[in-house]
Amino acid sequence: MTITITAFERSPDGGKGLARDTRLRWALEETGQPYEVRLVSFRAMKEPAHLRLHPFGQIPTYEEGDLVLFETGAIVFHIASRHPGLLPDDPDARARAVMWMFAALNTVEPPVLELFPARVLDAGKPWAKERLPLVEERIRSRLGPLATRLGDADWLDGAFSAGDLMMASVLLRLRASGLLDEFPKLAAYVARAEARPAYQRAFAAQLAINAL
Amino acid sequence: MTITITAFERSPDGGKGLARDTRLRWALEETGQPYEVRLVSFRAMKEPAHLRLHPFGQIPTYEEGDLVLFETGAIVFHIASRHPGLLPDDPDARARAVMWMFAALNTVEPPVLELFPARVLDAGKPWAKERLPLVEERIRSRLGPLATRLGDADWLDGAFSAGDLMMASVLLRLRASGLLDEFPKLAAYVARAEARPAYQRAFAAQLAINAL
């Protein structure tokens, strides 16, 4: 059955690969699944046809026969659980890989997502100067323990998994800020992830659409 | 094998059931699994013994033989995938139940978690008055589409699932704010979830520890 995902007609990041369709493309490339992409404008995202796929009016979505999914974490998990390549066979190791997916999305990404508003959108607000250091400290409070847990390992728990795919995708958001470079083990971890051929193909595919 | 979870020695909410161990207790009750609880003080959470279980120094954790997990979403998913009661058998329906778990944790909960800092912790800060309405609007932008999608159904996708368990747990955080009551369908949904015997048992168990 054909897999179709949606992506921004024009990504706000201009092709840096930070839009969430990149995470799906990466998972599909790691598992060798062909897919099609339907581009959606900001206006179309809020119209009924798209809201039927995604009640919150965002991208990406995933369609495969009768199955319609939204929510990046759920889609990556679905891909990883249906096709070999992103989850270990051992049940306990599999549970830990899923744990790192949730940790990436629920423990690490929320403070990371506060950075752009705090640095850019609120820059002119009276509180910006006082609040930004608090936001950065919250991010460091996640990165420090994560770097400690990773230690000198290549990946978070044995072989590369959907947990690493998600964690690296989240950490990639920090590259421009300089915060990632404060944690050399994490910077090297992200570089290892980016060097994977599947990531390279996913990145190139989104860049082909979004390059300005 | 004995299941052991960790919980706050004394929950910051004084037994309102908002600490995340309640979500695990609820999942374990729905699936009929006995469990033990080890209480952890705020100091012990940051000490090496606990950090070996949870690198970010939080609760809850989950131990079952050699398996150690942290991250509430991952633990609820683990419980739901090993025991019947919280995930449908049909593969597509199962993928959608997982989707609602991720949606609860990644799309709905992040703005909800901003409310307490914005209302209470930042109350004396120069930005408080200007920022609070923005935080509340972000929450409404999630609750509105969620209420529309739920419509007149009892649960988000067919029978009660781990997705509903997680979504109701997130929405419960809003009760005291009055925001939930702006969306009567969601208030009724949460009331239905709370009325489940498994939730009642989970709530009573955490209250027995935390009642002041």
Say yes or no: A170 contacts chain B, CB-CB below 8 A: no
- The three-point CA angle A33-A35-A39 to 5° equals 155
How confident is the model at residue A117, as a pLDDT? Answer: 79
Do A96 and B69 lie within an 8 Å CB cutoff? Answer: yes
Residue B102: its chain A contacts at CB < 8 A?
A: 71-74, 77, 105
pTM: 0.96
Is the ipTM beyond the 0.90 threshold?
yes
Among B111, B96, B102, CA closest to B143:
B111
Say yes or no: B123 contacts chain A, CB-CB below 8 A: no
Beta strands in chain A (DSSP E): 3-8, 36-40, 61-64, 67-70
Taking only the tens place, the pLDDT of each residue in B4-34 is 999 999 898 889 999 999 999 999 999 999 9
**Helix/strand/coil for A92:** helix
Taking only the tens place, the pLDDT of each residue in A190-211 is 999 999 999 999 999 999 998 7
Question: CA dihedral defined by B83, B84, B90, B91, rounded to 10 degrees?
Answer: -10
Q: Are B80 and B87 in contact (CB under 8 A)?
A: yes
Among A8, A1, A90, CA closest to A43:
A8
- The three-point CA angle A69-A105-A196 to 5° equals 85
Taking only the tens place, the pLDDT of each residue in B122-178 is 777 777 777 889 899 999 999 999 999 999 999 999 999 999 999 999 999 998 899
What are the residue ranges spanned by the domains of chain B?
Answer: 3-85+198-210, 91-196
Which CATH number applies to A91-196: 3.40.1190.20, 3.40.50.10860, 1.10.10.1100, 1.20.1050.10?
1.20.1050.10
Rg (CA), chain B: 17
- The topology under which CATH files domain B3-85+198-210 is Glutaredoxin (3.40.30)
Cα–Cα dist A156/A11, whole Å: 30
Residue A146: its chain B contacts at CB < 8 A?
A: 55-56
Q: Are B50 and B68 in contact (CB under 8 A)?
A: no
Q: Are A202 and A35 in contact (CB under 8 A)?
A: no
Mean pLDDT, chain B, rounded, equals 95
Do A95 and B106 lie within an 8 Å CB cutoff? Answer: no
Does position A212 have pLDDT exceeding 70, yes or no? no
Say yes or no: A146 contacts chain B, CB-CB below 8 A: yes
Cα–Cα dist A105/A167, whole Å: 8
Q: Which residue of B has its CA nearest to A101?
A: B74
Among B205, B210, B208, CA closest to B9:
B210
